[in-house]
Structure 1
């Protein structure tokens, strides 16, 4: 009998109509062979059997594996199997959405929905593997879960913002941003108007590719333009820092490289090097957090921006036995639990089972606060009108003090105009 290895994730992609496997990707337990065809057929068969009886099968659990199915546009079926201890229906659902959007980003919706040649589609999908595989790796940030763009803070933001806007205008583009280690330093106003999953995917795409001086890639926007490609240009200004643009057919990459990149960014070279080489900061200047805080996630729900860190004090937090890896996993898990069980989120799609605990259905109100207590830490979350805050704290913080500490932290992070 086939079993998932510990902490492994396996992703299957099949055609919805015939169940033909298109690809199988995995993380963890890489030495094991690909799923046997009999297992693939059984996983797809039980889903199709339920569908024929008007039964929606979305997820199932075995003793050590969680399975989720999702069909996109009645054409592509994605199935994920995870033995990761922190996996949940919410996180696996996000994974499937990210994977399908990644396929649309690279190939376009038309080729996926109306594929006439299955063998050619299999070959074309190989171009998506690197991006898809990056979503299967253990999470090192929160953007894939929150669908928000993680931001970094720099004292020189105003200068960089002015240069970026002038550079984008000269390139005949309204959509541009400056990235440092996968986080947004600044962006044009129109960039923030992109659908949150699209902007997240574009940043994620840059991170999934090997470093390169410049790129000119055709991309489809899964929500805004799923059938007509746009040009996605990237330029590495200094190692670790890139400027990216969404452009039309002009100007050419060569013209941009020769006539625009150097004149606009050369005068700021020292500033760019300092921004790329400085420790990555996610907190506004002058804000000191309580020493009991081990990690935080702050989300601006209007603009879909976020601040995320598991070392909020710039170094290892004394008195804590949690490693950075454990903090990362705990904060991601807490976010998934709070959003799926307690806080209102996006309306579920049609034919999608809502993630909600039974007792909550009898409430006449929506929770605004929640907390969880573990042996290694405590966690508290606030759901406000504009912001959401998720905190990890040391286990010795009194439970009655969690709300006060979280409220004061949210006020400190949002009171300044420079904050998120």
Structure 2
């Protein structure tokens, strides 16, 4: 796998008139930004097809893959990617996440009923950081899995009880604790939010400028796209934040000066243990370079591209992340998507069998990869190339058992 990660460009236009609203890109020099004529052509060919009742969803050239999506007959998003391994699945996820980001920050009403294009352009700048985070080279996988990324923490029961009491005192049912940008604990109502909302809220906190407290208006793309809620965040320790979804009350000063000291100050020692939680994957067998464990019922995930004991040979952490993401996209679209997943199975042999694959593997020069589809979990492993192929299945089965016993995911 080469060092050149390719480029990716996201275009946003009005669906009715094709007026560009923004263009965000990664890996493309500013002097090579798309000219207006190219943007107009990309939008024009899509509109031409729509006028003939033809849906142009995606296409590809020798080195670029392009995907289109129209949302609510109001906003058109176009993505172009020259990344190795880019697929309709990965680009489709990006388009969904980008539009949901716009809804999260601006609300659906402003996007569906565009009254002033120049004002909308200005307002959309507030979405850039979160959208850009989906364009960058990622070691995370939540944008693909649509599962919130979790991290196990010590003293979970004690902290969970405190979180429930803290949220109740703040007149909220929705609360969570984030450690290192990943979800450590959450109240039951927080878990009942749509999977994409869990993902976006976690990522939003990670890209906002660092502050000890925040009071940020957000819309829930699935649960409340037109009525905003207040996202309150308080830094308990560096790298550890508690978050609430609230209505008009309480005020942020009350939460910061009264509720945080009352509930969290007595738990300083358990909180300090959360700042550097045990690394995920400490129980994995030798030879595992990276892993992704997805809980299909809870829509949560646990992952690492540097689990303890993994050697540095072969792939760099970024290379492992790319390989793991490509493997996940391949397996999800070809072999065993979750029940209800919109991704169609693309392997022709599937049509001749009444069952779906439960295991699959890939062998390359730099690594081997193995996936298991269990009733509640999916496990994706990246393994060293010297692991014998015949040993992949028992090793992966043992890893799944250890991870599900050791983790809360």
Which residue of structure 2 lines up, in the alignment, with residue 341 of structure 1? 334
1:286-305 alignment to 2 at 5 Å?
288-305=283-300
- The answer to whether the Cα contact below 8 Å between 1:344 and 1:366 also exists between their aligned partners in 2 is no
Do residues 372 (structure 1) and 362 (structure 2) align? yes
Structure 2 counterpart of 1:394, from 384, 395, 399: 384
Residues 6 and 29 in structure 1, CA contact (< 8 A), matched pair in contact too: no
Tell me how far 1:139 sits from its aligned partner.
0.9
- The answer as to whether partners of 1:215 and 1:235 remain within 8 angstroms in 2 is yes
Shift of 1:359: 3.9
* 1:30-59 superposed Cα distances (whole Å, 9 cap, x missing partner): 333431111001101111111222222111
Q: CA deviation at 1:316?
A: 4.8
Residue in 2 that maps onto 1:405 = 395
Whole-angstrom distance in 2 between the partners of 1:120 and 1:280 = 47
The Cα shift of 1:343 comes to: 1.0
- Alpha-carbon separation, structure 2, partners of 1:88 and 1:57: 15
Q: Is the 8 A contact 2:11 2:20 kept in 1?
A: yes
Q: Indicate how the Cα distance of structure 1 residues 259 and 183 shifts in structure 2: closer, same or farther if over 3 A, else same.
A: same
**RMSD across aligned C-alpha pairs, in angstroms?**
1.8
Matches of 1:145 and 1:354, distance apart in 2: 16
Pairs within 5 Å for 1:165-176: 165-176=164-175
**For residue 323 of structure 2, what is the aligned residue in structure 1?**
330
Q: 1:15 aligns to what? A: 14
Q: Would the aligned equivalents of 1:370 and 1:381 in 2 still touch at CA under 8 Å?
A: yes
Contact 1:90 1:355 in 2 (8 A): no
**Does structure 1 conserve the Cα–Cα contact (< 8 Å) formed by 2:167 and 2:173?**
yes
Deviation larger for 112-121 or 201-210 = 112-121
Aligned counterparts of 2:347 and 2:48: Cα–Cα separation in 1: 27
TM-score by length of 1: 0.92
Structure 1 residues 340-359: aligned runs within 5 Å: 340-345=333-338, 347=340, 354=344, 356-359=346-349
Greater shift, 338-347 or 102-111, is seen at 338-347
What is the CA-CA distance between 1:259 and the residue it aligns to? 1.1
Poorly superposed stretches of 4+, deviation over 4 Å: 346-349
Q: Is the 8 A contact 2:290 2:304 kept in 1?
A: yes
In structure 2, what is the equivalent of residue 308 of structure 1?
303
Whole-angstrom distance in 2 between the partners of 1:21 and 1:103: 15
| Structure 1 residue 209 corresponds to structure 2 residue 208 | yes
1:152 corresponds to 2:168: no
Q: CA deviation at 1:230?
A: 0.6
Q: Distance in 2 between matches of 1:83 and 1:32?
A: 17
SS at match of 1:32: helix
- Return 336-345 or 221-230, whichever deviates more: 336-345
- Tell me the CA shift for residue 347 of structure 1: 4.2
Match of 1:68 in 2: 67
Query: CA offset at residue 419 of structure 1?
Result: 3.5
Measured against aligned partners, the alpha-carbon deviations of 1:198-241 in whole angstroms (never above 9, x if no partner) come to 01000000011121011111110000000111111001111111
CA distance in 2, matches of 1:382, 1:162: 34
Q: What CA deviation, in whole Å up to 9, does each residue of 1:35-90 have, x standing for no partner?
A: 11110011011111112222221111111111111111111110001111132211
Cα 1:293–1:147 shift into 2, 3 Å: same
1:273 partnered with 2:272: yes
Q: Is the 8 A contact 1:178 1:241 kept in 2?
A: yes
1-side partners of 2:37 and 2:392: how far apart? 50
What is the DSSP-based 3-state SS (H/G/I as helix, E as strand, rest coil) of the residue aligned with 1:408? Answer: helix
Kindly indicate whether residue 316 of structure 2 is the aligned counterpart of residue 317 of structure 1.
no
Contact residue 197 and residue 222 of structure 2 kept, 8 A: yes
| 226-235 vs 361-370, which moves further | 361-370
Task: Please say if residues 314 and 367 of structure 2, whose CA atoms lie closer than 8 Å, have aligned partners that are also in contact.
Answer: no
| 8 Å CA contact retained: 1:298, 1:389 | yes
Find the counterpart in structure 2 of residue 363 from structure 1: 353
**1:37: which partner in 2?**
36
C-alpha distance in 1, partners of 2:408/2:114? 46
* Alpha-carbon separation, structure 2, partners of 1:343 and 1:49: 35
- Give the TM-score, by structure 2 length: 0.95
Give the C-alpha shift of residue 280 in structure 1.
5.6
Specify every segment of 5 or more residues in structure 1 that has no aligned partner in the other structure, as ranges.
Answer: none
Work out whether residues 233 and 246 of structure 1, in 8 Å CA contact, stay in contact via their aligned partners in 2. Answer: yes
Displacement, 1:415? 3.6
158-167 or 96-105, which deviates more: 158-167
